[in-house]
A = this chain, B = another copy of it.
């Protein structure tokens, strides 16, 4: 039996055929083309699923189900996308619509939740039941796995941890509130913090690094810090404090077995994981909260979406 994982994004819809042990047999993508509308997007996705299955010589009867990850609020019990701004879906009956094309189980979930499931079933957190994944990108996404299952709260609206407030009355966030975690600890925030440190420190190595690499990005301060630059070190240390503040809030509320860190910034590897682990250990030690929580780098990268989506129907 094979399982279909669909990862719907603002730019492209990715589809993969996944084995029971979480390997992608074949994957492909089409442009999202949201202007064509909901039904057309689903129909084109269904065509891609059939074409990939055919390429792999897999019959429809050998497909165990279709899992779909969506960038928005998904009520998975009802099979309805309540709201997915980036692809223009509101109250979209995704499970019903996809079921018009296939006579196999279909499930849908929020993309960050689905990625967390992928890492928990087949990635860096394999073997753990209780995991919180944080994806650091333009914003901060998060997914919560409890007892090996996605936790989505009432109506699918949970796990929006990027918008927990870490500094009341702090900087204005896109969500309209002030002081949200992602306003301080997303890759976007890191780049802003790097830029203002560069303005304040004309002799920082960060300027040379930017010239070499063509732009300021999430690596700039880390590279400077590695090379001994004081201004770069300050940016990195302050950024890690912001990142750990939100992580610790999640530790106090959820106390999972592990935090899985994904997204672009996570590629810094031990430069991030080690200090974060130290922040978490030290804080939980002070509070007498045992056992400690592991901080782990995500390993599935962009495939987490497809693999996690497929895992929903295994």
Residues of A with Cβ closer than 8 Å to B? 73, 82-83, 85, 130, 142, 144, 146, 151-155, 157-161, 163-168, 175-177, 241-242, 245, 248-250, 252-257, 283-284, 286-291, 293
Q: How many Å lie between the Cα of A151 and that of B287 in the bound state? A: 19
Instruction: Report yes or no: B293 in contact with A164, Cβ–Cβ below 8 A.
Output: no
Known pairs A165-B245, A286-B177, A287-B175; A159 contacts B253 (CB<8 A): yes
Complex contact A167–B168 (CB within 8 A)? yes
**How far apart sit A168 and B246, CA to CA, in the bound complex (Å)?**
10
Most buried by B among A144, A153, A155: A153
Known interface pairs A130-B154, A153-B130, A291-B155; A164-B286 also in contact (CB < 8 Å)? no
Once bound together, how far apart are the Cα atoms of A257 and B153, in whole Å? 8
A254 CA to B252 CA, complexed, in Å: 13
11 residue pairs of the A-B complex, CB under 8 angstroms, read A73-B290, A146-B146, A146-B151, A154-B257, A155-B291, A163-B252, A165-B245, A168-B242, A175-B286, A176-B287, A177-B286
Q: Is the CB of B161 within 8 A of A252?
A: yes
Max chain B Cβ within 10 angstroms of own Cβ: one of A155, A168, A248: A168
Bound Cα distance A250, B252 (Å): 11
Q: Given the complex of chains A and B, what is the CA–CA distance between A160 and B255 in angstroms?
A: 9
Given A85-B288, A177-B283, A249-B249: A293 and B166 interface contact (C-beta under 8 Å): no
Known A130-B153, A253-B254: A248·B165 in contact at CB below 8 Å: yes
User: In the bound complex, do residue B85 and residue A160 qualify as a contact, i.e. CB atoms below 8 Å apart?
Assistant: no
Contact B253 A154 (CB under 8 A): no
